[in-house]
Amino acid sequence: MSPFNPTPNADPLWIELGARRYPIAFGAWNAASASSALALVVTNEVVAPLYAARLQEVLKRQHRLVDVLVLPDGEVHKSWPSVSLILDRLLELGADRHAVVYALGGGVVGDLAGFAAAIYMRGLAFVQVPTTLLAQVDSSVGGKTGFNHARGKNLIGAFHQPQAVWIDLQTLATLPDREYRAGLAEMVKYGPIADPAFFDWLEREADALNARDPAILSVAVRRSCEIKAAVVAADEHEGGLRAVLNLGHTFGHALEAGLGYGELLHGEAVAMGMVMAAQASVDALGCDPALLRRLQALLARLGLSTVAPRLGADRFIALMMGDKKNQGGAIRYVLLEGMGRPVLAKLPHALALQAIAAHSVA
Ligand code: NAD
Ligand code: MG
């Protein structure tokens, strides 16, 4: 990973995965790299009226037929029936293995379209065209695809790397405030797990981030992608290192599930979970409490709550025990020895509960 150098740069960033290496392209969508007869754009009812026509125009230069499938919006539709709709449409269109799937939308559309592409005729090329901040800094990069089961989030899925990721920051102009802030939480995560200088910079630029300043956003999104790319390139299938991307997620997933999906946005839960993880790091690993205070302060400045609704100790632990990242019945936490120094660790329940209690309100 190169040292953080805050200069916006429009060159593509490459995810280094050998023969499957692929670019993250920044700026206006450009189909130069794609070519085949058929393209299917998978999007949803919110994003389609905003951006589908524009993407279709771009793709028509490259593909003979460009079809658009509009799914219902929302995490509840990240389900098998949506995957099935995509497969049905591909079959109706007579798509062969050379068709290309474009995922136009947030993480939900990206995960669904990517998964359908992974299994249709054992694998189609697909391109991520992320339109939420969360998707641009996190979900569109790295090749995890899938959908939710009634028994839990993301329980069914596959690794399937996209052929490219196209990030046009202008799409963020229409993103609702809460969704934008939820994306900022995942961006903040990259400081503690990988890059102290990036965290310092985010502190300095918090006002500009709140204002969605395009120059600052382009640096921030690019750096986030660089960090994610480096982690994914080092550990594509999450043998170990990749798990550090889940800072705050063990606590956060429990909050999301415990409060009922839809109550908190994922990024909002992650913000609360990161504070709990930092607290546990202070208590269990002797991490500097200044890190905890800085994290709380930055998240608060970015309009994210750092205090969670109370769930009840037994319930919280039970929900964390159900997390699919666990191994052999033990909860695996991402903790911090310091800024930029994540570790995977177990934690006595008492310390986890202490961290939860310290950052929850009734
Ligand atoms: P989302 O896809 O539900 O998008 C949030 C909302 O914003 C939706 O209502 C969507 O229709 C709307 N929207 C999208 N783009 C818009 C735009 N430009 N203007 C206005 N509205 C817009 O949610 P998300 O936060 O993007 O993604 C969350 C999903 O991503 C979760 O399902 C999560 O599990 C998944 N995820 C996957 C990975 C991965 O590695 N594959 C990583 C992180 C998260
Ligand atoms: Mg996340």
112 inside domain: yes
The list of the chain residues with pLDDT below 50 reads none
Residue 94 sits in the same domain as residue 193 = no
Measure 60 CA to ligand 2 centroid, in angstroms: 33
Residue 76 sits in the same domain as residue 106 = yes
Q: Is the Cβ atom of 47 under 6 angstroms away from ligand 1?
A: yes
| Encoded tokens for 294 | 């800085």
Residue 72 sits in the same domain as residue 110 = yes
Residue 111 annotated as binding? Answer: yes
**Residue 263 sits in a domain of what CATH number?**
1.20.1090.10
Residue 188 sits in the same domain as residue 168 = no
| CA of 133, closest atom in ligand 1 | 26
254 inside domain: yes
Q: Is the Cβ atom of 332 under 6 angstroms away from ligand 1?
A: no
Tally of CB atoms within 10 A around 108: 24
3 inside domain: no
Single out the residue in 172, 198, 229 at which a domain terminates.
172
Residue 147 sits in the same domain as residue 193 = no
Q: Is the Cβ atom of 188 under 6 angstroms away from ligand 1?
A: no
Residue 6 is predicted with a pLDDT of 73
Residue 167 sits in the same domain as residue 192 = no
Residue 221 sits in the same domain as residue 356 = yes
**Whole-angstrom Cα distance, residue 259 to residue 282?**
26
In the chain the beta strands, taken as DSSP E runs, fall at: 13-15, 22-26, 38-44, 65-71, 100-105, 125-130, 144-149, 152-159, 164-167, 308-309, 333-338, 341-345, 360-361
Rounded to the nearest 10°, the torsion over CA 65, 66, 72, 75 is 120
Active site residues: 122, 144, 186, 228, 238, 242, 246, 249, 253, 266
Residue 76 annotated as binding? Answer: yes
**Whole-angstrom Cα distance, residue 208 to residue 219?**
12
Residue numbers of the domain that contains 298? 183-361
**Whole-angstrom Cα distance, residue 4 to residue 227?**
10
Residue whose CA is at the smallest distance from ligand 1 atom 28: 107
Residue 198 sits in the same domain as residue 332 = yes
Residue 209 sits in the same domain as residue 302 = yes
The structure's pTM equals 0.95
Mind listing the pLDDT tens digit for each residue in 201-238? Answer: 999 999 999 999 999 999 999 999 999 999 999 989 98
Single out the residue in 110, 138, 172 at which a domain terminates.
172
**Whole-angstrom Cα distance, residue 232 to residue 288?**
28
Residue 124 sits in the same domain as residue 166 = yes
How many domains, in total, are found in the chain? 2
187 inside domain: yes
178 inside domain: no
Residue 129 sits in the same domain as residue 28 = yes
**Residue 139 sits in a domain of what CATH number?**
3.40.50.1970
**Whole-angstrom Cα distance, residue 237 to residue 188?**
23
- What does the DSSP assignment read for 246-264? GTTHHHHHHHHHHH-TTSS
Residue 40 sits in the same domain as residue 142 = yes
Distances (CA, A) of 109 to 97, 287, 288, 327: 21, 38, 39, 29
**Whole-angstrom Cα distance, residue 255 to residue 359?**
12
Residues in contact with 290: Cβ distance below 8 Å, sequence separation at least 6, in sequence order: none
Single out the residue in 140, 172, 204 at which a domain terminates.
172
Mind listing the pLDDT tens digit for each residue in 122-137? Answer: 999 999 999 999 999 9
Q: Is the Cβ atom of 273 under 6 angstroms away from ligand 1?
A: no
Residue 362 is predicted with a pLDDT of 76
2 inside domain: no
8 inside domain: no
1 inside domain: no
